[in-house]
Structure 1
Amino acid sequence: MLAMNKFRILGTTAIAIAASVIITSCKDKRSTGWEYAPNMYEHIAYEPDQANANFKDGKTAQVPPAGTIPVGFKRFDYPNNKDGYEKASLEVKNLLANNQKNFAEGKALFVTFCSPCHGMTGQGDGLVVQHGYPPPPSYSKGQSSRGGAMKDLTDGKIYHTITYGVNAMGSYASQVAPDERWKIVMYVHHLQNL
């Protein structure tokens, strides 16, 4: 008798569970069920181009406060003109150690970014020149378009030129990090003596 009561209770419980599952599953066909961590898929952050009532101008994308510097950014406070070029020549010096590792990295960077125009030895005979473009001056024999011999270019002048570009050479500031520019400067000094 006791065993029959247990089966009756278990059977009734199973029927109740099955009935509740059937009833709740038929309610809404579009429902995905319970939501676990809805903030993971219901986007609550503002997109940069969305209106945003949290700011006075109503824009989400805000201009950074004056005087702030992005993480990892190094300032180069010399304007992109002849005066900035000359001032950089006098004030800017390469602070990286002149060792074999930096020299080798400078050579690799030069081959990647500079040799297409300047050539492997800095003589202005790169692949771009072979396709009909005007050659840049030779580092060891040429004259700078800003005045003076290319072999006399200082750290600051070379760094300024890599940062801003000159004549047909565009700026490499977005492709070459400041430390990498200094390594290229180191290698260009080697090419000036060839």
Structure 2
Amino acid sequence: MKSLIKLALFFGLTVSVTSCSDTKSPNYQFFPNMYESVGYETYAESEAFNGDNQLKGQTAQEPPQGSIKRGFEIYEYENSTAGYELAKANLVSPIDSITEKEAKKGKELYGIYCAICHGEQGNGKGKLVEREKFLGVPSYADRVITEGSVYHVITYGLNSMGSHANQLSQHERWLVTDYVLQLKSKL
């Protein structure tokens, strides 16, 4: 009798284990979204951060209104002709003395961002000017420039030249300004 119960129990266990196996479909998925993710198109709108979710505190990591990044110093001269003239007359470099390493960095940054138009010597004969992509790039020898005017133009841009404030930090802009004034003195 005991062997009959053991045999029936073994048979029942075998049937239950083999009945759960199905070779045509996968096993139970604990996190189905990881196995069968939703396909999103690039730059398509998403419901992840719609108005309902914003009420719950999900705002896609937007910075608070009026915030500025750490270490940012406000540039008080406006982007206008009057602001340019004020910067030209009043603005001076906050860097007391530029080390040899910083001077080398200023030259390197000038080569990356400025020399393509203004030329390696600051004579207005860069590669784009030689190939007639831009015309009328001024030589530093022809202009009355100061630290403030160069920094202002690098920050906001002037005429065909765009702003480099996003590419260069404030310190880097001052290094490039110093190098531009060195080039002017050599012309």
Q: TM-score, normalised by structure 2?
A: 0.71
Give the 3 Å change call, closer, same or farther, for CA 40–181 of structure 1 in structure 2: farther
Contact 1:94–1:155 at 8 Å: present in 2 too? no
Aligned positions of 1:1-194 closer than 5 A? 16=13, 18-26=14-22, 29=25, 32-35=27-30, 50-55=49-54, 60=59, 64-71=63-70, 73-89=72-88, 90-95=90-95, 97-132=97-132, 133-139=134-140, 141-143=141-143, 149=144, 153-194=145-186
Gapped runs of 5+ residues in structure 1?
144-148
Give the 3 Å change call, closer, same or farther, for CA 179–40 of structure 1 in structure 2: farther
Greater Cα shift, 101-110 or 170-179: 170-179
SS of the residue corresponding to residue 53 of structure 1 reads helix
Q: What CA distance in whole angstroms lies between the structure 2 residues aligned with 1:171 and 1:14?
A: 80
Superposed CA RMSD: 3.8
Give CA-to-partner distance per residue, 1:29-86, whole Å, 9 cap, x none: 2x5524269799979xx95884132446xx9468744431034544323211012223
Equivalent pairs, count: 173
Give CA-to-partner distance per residue, 1:167-188, whole Å, 9 cap, x none: 1111112222222212111211
Q: TM-score, normalised by structure 1?
A: 0.69
Q: What CA distance in whole angstroms lies between the structure 1 residues aligned with 2:27 and 2:96?
A: 60
Q: What percentage of aligned pairs have identical amino acids? A: 32
Counterpart residue type for residue 95 of structure 2: L
Counterpart residue type for residue 125 of structure 1: K
Contact 2:93–2:174 at 8 Å: present in 1 too? no
SS of the residue corresponding to residue 142 of structure 2 reads coil
Counterpart residue type for residue 178 of structure 1: Q
Contact 1:48–1:61 at 8 Å: present in 2 too? no
Give the 3 Å change call, closer, same or farther, for CA 41–27 of structure 1 in structure 2: closer
Deviation at 1:123, TM superposition (A): 0.8
Gapped runs of 5+ residues in structure 2?
39-44
